[in-house]
Amino acid sequence: MGILVSKNQLVVPGEVLARGSGVNVAGGVYRKKVKGETEIIASMIGLVKIRKDSVGVVPLEGCYIPLEGDIIIGKIVKVGITSWNVDIRGPYVGALRVNSVLDRDFDSLRESLDQVLNHGDVIKAQITYFDRTRDPVLTMQGRGLRKITHGRLIEVDPVKIPRIIGKKGSMIQLLKNMTNAQIIVGQNGRIVVSANSVEKENLVINAIRKIEAEAHTSGLTDRIRAYLDAEKRKL
């Protein structure tokens, strides 16, 4: 067993990270047998993650892959008879059934779904079910899950969402506390920002863009704090 790279090193797909058996794989890598020896090779651009006896890559680019339990921000793209189709910014379209939105019975003969949620509406929803044979199923029954009526919607790279939230939510708390803005983060890389002035919203959005661009560096929370301090004084 031998790990050939150091922690947090930038790697590209195809780079050999470790050789020999006894090394477990985390995400972003694959195993291959070369001349009887197992090699662990990166499959994404990212930073090397080493934990005990496993090695993986934290990707810096990537699309959103739905996970059960994820809170996401979706857009209604189709209104059907008893369900909606929701764009969740992933490879698959989410299905939202009427009984996971309304508490009451719904009579499709008397009322139409577009009175509840119409084409183009933005919603905060949760993924209840997803496997690779069927499209993701969403629900809007849960705490805070609702139609989003105001704020500014921005899109970021989904793999950078963990950085925007920070360790135990430290980064997002910092943003909220320093700007008093309301920020809704969806795991699929959509963020809704609303504050009491356009300038403040711009400030939050710029800070998020900065986090996105510098996601692979360390000491980010401190830099964002300094950035917000400096920018707030200009307001």
Would you tell me which residues interact with another protein (CB under 8 A)? 10, 12-16, 28, 30, 32, 34, 41, 43-45, 59-63, 91-93, 132-133, 157, 159, 213-214, 216-217, 223
* Minimum distance from residue 46 beta carbon to another protein (Å): 9
Closer to another protein by Cβ: residue 84 or 183 = 84
* Minimum distance from residue 213 beta carbon to another protein (Å): 6
Closer to another protein by Cβ: residue 136 or 181 = 136
* Minimum distance from residue 157 beta carbon to another protein (Å): 8
The contacts of residue 217 (CB under 8 Å, 6+ apart) are: none
Neighbouring C-beta atoms of residue 189, cutoff 10 Å? 24
Closer to another protein by Cβ: residue 76 or 181 = 76
Query: CA-to-CA distance for 116 and 111, rounded, in angstroms?
Result: 9
Give the DSSP letter of residue 93.
E
* Minimum distance from residue 216 beta carbon to another protein (Å): 5
Q: Tell me which residue of 76, 72, 56 sits closest to 64, measured CA to CA.
A: 72
Closer to another protein by Cβ: residue 88 or 195 = 88
Query: CA-to-CA distance for 17 and 184, rounded, in angstroms?
Result: 37
* Minimum distance from residue 3 beta carbon to another protein (Å): 17
Closer to another protein by Cβ: residue 60 or 122 = 60
Query: CA-to-CA distance for 156 and 149, rounded, in angstroms?
Result: 20
- The sign of the torsion formed by the CA atoms of 104, 107, 110, 115 equals positive
